[in-house]
Amino acid sequence: MTYYKKSLTEIKKLFDGILHLYFYHRGVSMKWALYIPYRNNIGNLHGDLKEIITKIPAHELNTIKELFGEINFNQLYFGQEFCERILPKKKDIIDALNFAHSNNMQFTFITPYVTETGLIKLQQLFIELVKIKSDCEIVINDWGVLYLIFNEFPSFTPILGRLLNKMWRDPRIKSYLKGKNSDKILKTYQGCGLAAPGMKKLLNKFNIKRIEIDNLIHGVNENISDWGYQISMYVPYGCITTGRMCILGSWGLEKKDKFKATSKFCSQQCRFYSLNLYDQNKEVKNTKDWEIIQKGNTIFYKQLEPMLKNGLTQAGSLGVDRIIYQFDPI
Amino acid sequence: MKILAPINSIHEAEPLIASGADEFYCGLHPKAWENKYGKKVWLNRRWSSASINSFEELKNLVKVSHRNNVKVFLTLNLPFYLPEQYPEILSLVKEVTENCGIDALIVSDPGIIMTIKETFPKVEIHASSLGAILNSSSASFYQSLGASRIIFPRFADLEDLGIIINKLGTKLKYEVFILNDGCVFEEGHCYVSHAFGGAFCSRWNYELVEINKDEESPYKIDKASFKRHIKDYKEWLWIGIKNCGGVPGPKGLPLGMCGLCALEKLKDIGVSSLKIVGRESPFPKKIASVKIVKKILDHIDSSNKKLTTSQLAQNLRRTKSLCKSNFMCYYR
């Protein structure tokens, strides 16, 4: 039995080694980005990168190291994908830029979907950012923000964010597709509208070269390298759904003022709490691969070790060239 | 302002028009699509029971509607379409516009909008609420693709709407939600398929997890109040998302999300069309919805007003406590 166990461990090590060599020889040069949504996530942006990396959960770090060796975060992603109420201030961005510079990292600014109010705030931030870093990468999750950058800040480098890549992220997909034609339909559910000729033409017009994907519960599309973009993938949080109404943001308000999508007020409880979600109907069960959580206004599936490993393995072999590691989803 | 009613059968057309509907929107569920993709891959956001099921019926529906000066719009409102689906979509667009005579397509996917406009320049496009158009730049983006109408998402901010409409001007038409279903999340940023049934968002148990003990929250909230907060949340879901269990309210009026009190304001800021949700709704609910909107619009246009719009809406509804709760309001 002991011998058997030992053999298994050795086979596993050998397999991981082969994978590592495979990526190396395919010439896939994987870049690593560290995503910090809020300055307090990393000691108010004063910390040392090495020290911050030690805060990544050991099992996640080990999985990454097994597949890719020692990782070097050479990109800092900073900003908000999901909520305009917690957009960073100008000073936060400057501090994040300095942090990136002092740690030899490139800088990417992430932006959320925005109302008219949020659009004006973003526009002000862009006016400042373009003075400091005119070619800054900007992750865009709102068609209006793309249009604004194209027309008013053309020196920025736009990236199409994962919220504008409408691929299905429904955790139920695999369990619902059984029987005849299920493989074919699964491929449809792994498909991506950005791969369509009309969309490629449009995004080319808007200078989009890089797009983002999630590590999907029902498997990453095998043909992503044919889509014609550079591709970044987020781990370990996949986005299922997001909205302006925030369950945690309205906690503490008078009942009549709760659950307002248009609320300008935010008690910022997402900085202090997250929610574990359990399906009353037991249709969406947490598994060894993922669990459902809500942070602020967004529901995520958090990828656990087996899924994370599988996704990263696929990413390396399919042509993803940038992994964005999320310290925190919001 | 026009009343835009949902429709899924030609038999509903004339009674809805007689009740006050000025425009219709519908889905199409061609058999060929189902034969190819099965029941789990949809052509639009609703299944066959909510849709017109043949080109022939669609053509007849358009004929009846046009006879009554009512326009018909067709949904092609999946969040995205795949490369291999483009030829089928284009062939369908040709059929529904050239043969069936529909007046506009409701679409959110910018790639398919651009392709449709390049292939059929005269086809009118309404930018769907799935486009999550929440700001003036986003509306400009869809206008640049050729959209002639912007459909704002649920729960739009009235002040923002005024600014956007003012910036974009009268070359575009503007549509908002006025009655029936809500959505917990941003419909345009929801990556869950309705093809697997039910909403994904209203049936969770919540466990609060403290994640940051190092900092102090600027807002002191008693942790014990979370249970009460979730109770309030479930009440909001029941009223706004579950439409109070789907049972009709007094006089058969629908319960669920409502923007009637804001009608006068919506008119003032330049909204041109009022969308009633529910292609799959029972026919009496559609009729009752159209009638109540019509009654209030007539009141706004009348010179002899004894009640404010909001008073009239709440009197007609007879759901005093629900109205008072604010949980049934699209615009609050």
The C-alpha atoms of residue B191 and residue A216 are separated, in whole angstroms, by: 11
Q: What is the 3-state secondary structure (H, E, C) of B83-120?
A: HHHHHHHHHHHHHHHHHCCCCEEEECCHHHHHHHHHHC
- Put simply, whether B208 touches A (Cβ < 8 Å) is yes
Cβ <8 Å between B111 and A194: yes
Q: Specify whether the CB–CB gap between A275 and B206 falls below 8 A.
A: yes
Tokens, residue B61 = 């529906």
Q: Which of B125, B129, B143, B200 to mutate to test the interface with A (most CBs of A within 10 A)?
A: B200
Q: What is the CATH number of the domain that holds B75?
A: 3.20.20.70
Q: What is the nearest CA distance from B99 to chain A, expressed in angstroms? A: 24
Does a structural domain hold residue B330? no
Nearest CB to B136; choose among A116, A193, A268: A116
Report the residue of chain B nearest A238, measured CA to CA.
B191
Query: Cβ–Cβ contacts within 10 Å for residue B274, how many?
Result: 27
- What one-character-per-residue DSSP string does B262-331 give? GHHHHHHHT--EEEEP-TTS-HHHHHHHHHHHHHHHHHHH-S--SS-HHHHHHHHHT-HHHHHHSTTBS-
Distance from the Cα of residue B148 to its chain's centroid: 17
Tokens, residue A263 = 């609320």
Spell A17-55 as b/e; 16+ CB within 10 A means b: eebbeebeeeebebbbbbbbbbbebbeebeeebeebeee
**How much is the ipTM here?**
0.96
At residue B178, the 3 state secondary structure works out as strand
Q: Specify whether the CB–CB gap between A310 and A302 falls below 8 A.
A: no
- Put simply, whether A98 touches B (Cβ < 8 Å) is no
List phi, psi (to 5°) of B62. -65, -40
Q: Specify whether the CB–CB gap between B48 and B25 falls below 8 A.
A: no
Report the residue of chain B nearest A176, measured CA to CA.
B196
Does a structural domain hold residue B285? yes
Does a structural domain hold residue B268? yes
Does a structural domain hold residue B331? no
Structural domains present in chain A:
27-326 (3.20.20)
Range of weakest confidence among A223-227, B83-87, B106-110, B245-249: B245-249
Q: Which of B84, B186, B241, B324 to mutate to test the interface with A (most CBs of A within 10 A)?
A: B186
Tokens, residue A170 = 């429904």
Does a structural domain hold residue B102? yes
The letter for the amino acid at B194 is H
At residue A88, the 3 state secondary structure works out as coil
Query: Cβ–Cβ contacts within 10 Å for residue A57, how many?
Result: 10
The DSSP bridge pattern shows strands B204-210 and A273-279 to be antiparallel
- Put simply, whether B156 touches A (Cβ < 8 Å) is yes
Q: Specify whether the CB–CB gap between A301 and A292 falls below 8 A.
A: yes
Spell B122-153 as b/e; 16+ CB within 10 A means b: ebbbbbbbbbbbbbbbbbbbbbebbbebbbbb
Q: What is the pLDDT of residue A22?
A: 55
- Put simply, whether B210 touches A (Cβ < 8 Å) is yes
Report the residue of chain A nearest B40, measured CA to CA.
A185
Residues 127-186 of chain A whose Cβ lies under 8 A from any Cβ of chain B:
142-148, 163, 166-170, 172-173, 176-177, 181, 185
Give which of B71, B174, B208 is closest to A275, Cα–Cα. B208
Per-residue pLDDT of chain A (330 residues; tens, 9 = 90+): 445 555 655 665 555 555 554 554 444 579 999 999 987 766 667 778 888 888 888 889 888 888 888 888 999 999 999 999 999 999 999 999 999 999 999 999 999 999 999 999 999 999 999 999 999 999 999 999 999 999 999 999 999 999 999 999 999 998 888 877 888 899 999 999 999 999 999 999 999 999 999 999 999 999 999 999 999 999 999 999 999 999 999 999 999 999 999 998 888 899 999 999 999 888 888 899 999 999 999 999 999 999 999 999 999 889 999 999 998 899
Q: Specify whether the CB–CB gap between B295 and B317 falls below 8 A.
A: no
Rg (CA), chain B: 21
The C-alpha atoms of residue A213 and residue A312 are separated, in whole angstroms, by: 12
Instruction: Determine if residue A296 is left, alpha or beta; phi over 0 gives left, psi from -120 to 50 gives alpha, anything else beta.
Output: left
Q: Which of A113, A168, A251 to mutate to test the interface with B (most CBs of B within 10 A)?
A: A251
Nearest CB to A185; choose among B41, B190, B206: B41
A vs B: CB pairs below 8 A: 252
The C-alpha atoms of residue B17 and residue B24 are separated, in whole angstroms, by: 9
List phi, psi (to 5°) of B115. -65, -40
The C-alpha atoms of residue B50 and residue B71 are separated, in whole angstroms, by: 19
User: How would you list the strands of the sheet with A237-242, edge to edge?
Assistant: A237-242, A298-303, A290-295, A273-279, B204-210
Domain count, chain B: 1
Q: What is the pLDDT of residue A27?
A: 43
Report the residue of chain B nearest A173, measured CA to CA.
B196
pLDDT in tens, B34-61: 888 888 888 888 877 789 999 999 999 9
Residue B201 has pLDDT above 90, yes or no: no
Does a structural domain hold residue B332? no
- Signed CA dihedral, B233, B234, B238, B241: sign only: positive
- Put simply, whether B41 touches A (Cβ < 8 Å) is yes
- Put simply, whether A265 touches B (Cβ < 8 Å) is no
Q: What is the pLDDT of residue B254?
A: 87
pLDDT in tens, B219-242: 888 889 999 999 999 999 999 888
B319 is in which domain, residue-wise? Answer: 2-325
Strand partners, B23: B4, B71
Strands annotated E in B99-231: 104-107, 125-127, 147-151, 173-179, 204-210
Cβ <8 Å between B155 and A299: no
Q: Specify whether the CB–CB gap between B156 and B150 falls below 8 A.
A: no
Residue B131 has pLDDT above 80, yes or no: yes
List phi, psi (to 5°) of B331. -120, 100
Tokens, residue A61 = 């770090």
Cβ <8 Å between B192 and A276: no
Which chain B residues have a beta carbon less than 8 Å from that of A208? Answer: none
Q: What is the nearest CA distance from B65 to chain A, expressed in angstroms? A: 33
Q: Specify whether the CB–CB gap between B178 and B263 falls below 8 A.
A: yes
